[in-house]
């Protein structure tokens, strides 16, 4: 709550129009910004694998996990649509599934480390995620969206450190967060990475790949982890 009040005590944060200016604008065939568009296919793959594994294993947090991996699958068309023609309107459809994914993962962490009863608040969490994007779309103010995204990625490491898990292999969450951090870094270094790779791969395309690999780590974690005897939360 303190971070929320602090952020909203700051001036309104508007979307920087330069955000839409990606370095790799090459077109192959009829697809503009081809690599940024097509690299989203990895999100469909890992989302599908994740849902398939959850349905197979019947994980106790099944609803939250399905919401998470379904949102990852939806990132693919949303992000592809945005990169086809980058502007504030198409960015809405990129950010909506991402906000759902952040909140679903947040509820997973609480349910697996603090209280399984918390999963009943999943609809409220998802509504908050959607609302953060809609507030930006209507008002132009990004503060609520930034708070939803970045507060979850501050709280999640704290949960991992401070609370035990009901399952083994929890370090995969840390690996996913690390890869997401590298993905955000590569997004910032879009042009530099394009230059370093001799125009083979832009930083933003690399962001998609790294983020998908991080999520694939969670899919693999679900395949191999075991419930820890005696851990009941």
Q: How confident is the model at residue 171 (pLDDT cuts 50, 70, 90)?
A: very high
Query: In this predicted model, which residue has the larger pLDDT, 87 or 149?
Result: 87
Q: How confident is the model at residue 2 (pLDDT cuts 50, 70, 90)?
A: low
Phi, psi torsion values for 114, nearest 5 degrees = -120, -60
**Two tokens, residue 181:** 């951090």
Residues 38-56 pLDDT 10s: 999 999 999 999 999 999 9
Average pLDDT, the chain: 92
Calculate mean pLDDT across residues 174-192. Answer: 96
Report all structural domains of the chain as residue ranges with CATH numbers, in order of start: 34-224 (1.20.1070.10)
pLDDT of amino acid 5:
63
DSSP letter, residue 18: G
Calculate mean pLDDT across residues 128-142. Answer: 96
Calculate mean pLDDT across residues 134-139. Answer: 96
Letter string b/e over residues 150-172, b meaning 16 or more CB atoms within 10 A of that residue's CB: eebeeebeebbeeeebbbebbeb
Q: Of 2-11, 44-53, 110-119, 148-157, where does mean pLDDT reach its minimum?
A: 2-11
* Distance of alpha carbon 112 from alpha carbon 110, whole angstroms: 6
* Distance of alpha carbon 117 from alpha carbon 221, whole angstroms: 22
Rg (CA), the chain: 18
Calculate mean pLDDT across residues 186-203. Answer: 97
SS3 197: coil
Residues 57-111 pLDDT 10s: 877 778 999 999 999 999 999 999 999 999 999 999 999 999 999 999 999 999 9
pLDDT of amino acid 7:
64
| Residues β-bridged to residue 28 | 31
Give how far Cα 18 sits from Cα of 23, 28, 189, Å: 11, 24, 14
pLDDT of amino acid 4:
59
């Amino acid at each position: 709550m303190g971070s929320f009040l602090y952020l909203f005590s700051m001036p309104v944060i508007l979307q920087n129009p330069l955000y839409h200016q990606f370095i790799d604008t090459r077109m192959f065939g009829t697809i503009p910004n081809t690599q940024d568009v097509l690299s989203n296919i990895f999100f469909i793959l890992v989302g599908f694998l994740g849902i398939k594994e959850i349905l197979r294993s019947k994980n106790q947090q099944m609803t939250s996990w399905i919401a998470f991996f379904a949102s990852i699958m939806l990132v693919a068309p949303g992000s592809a649509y945005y990169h086809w023609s980058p502007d504030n309107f198409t960015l809405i459809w990129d950010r909506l599934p991402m906000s759902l994914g952040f909140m679903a993962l947040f509820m997973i962490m609480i349910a697996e480390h603090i209280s399984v009863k918390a999963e009943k608040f999943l609809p409220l969490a998802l509504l908050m995620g959607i609302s953060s994007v809609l507030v930006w779309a209507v008002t132009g103010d990004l503060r609520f969206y930034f708070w939803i995204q970045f507060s979850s990625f501050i709280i999640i490491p704290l949960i991992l450190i401070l609370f035990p898990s009901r399952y083994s292999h929890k370090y995969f969450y840390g690996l996913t967060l690390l890869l997401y951090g590298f993905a955000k870094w590569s997004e910032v270094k879009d042009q530099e990475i394009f230059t370093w790779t001799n125009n083979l791969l832009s930083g933003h395309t690399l962001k998609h790949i790294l983020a998908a690999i991080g999520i694939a780590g969670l899919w693999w974690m679900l395949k191999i982890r075991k419930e820890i005897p005696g851990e009941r939360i």
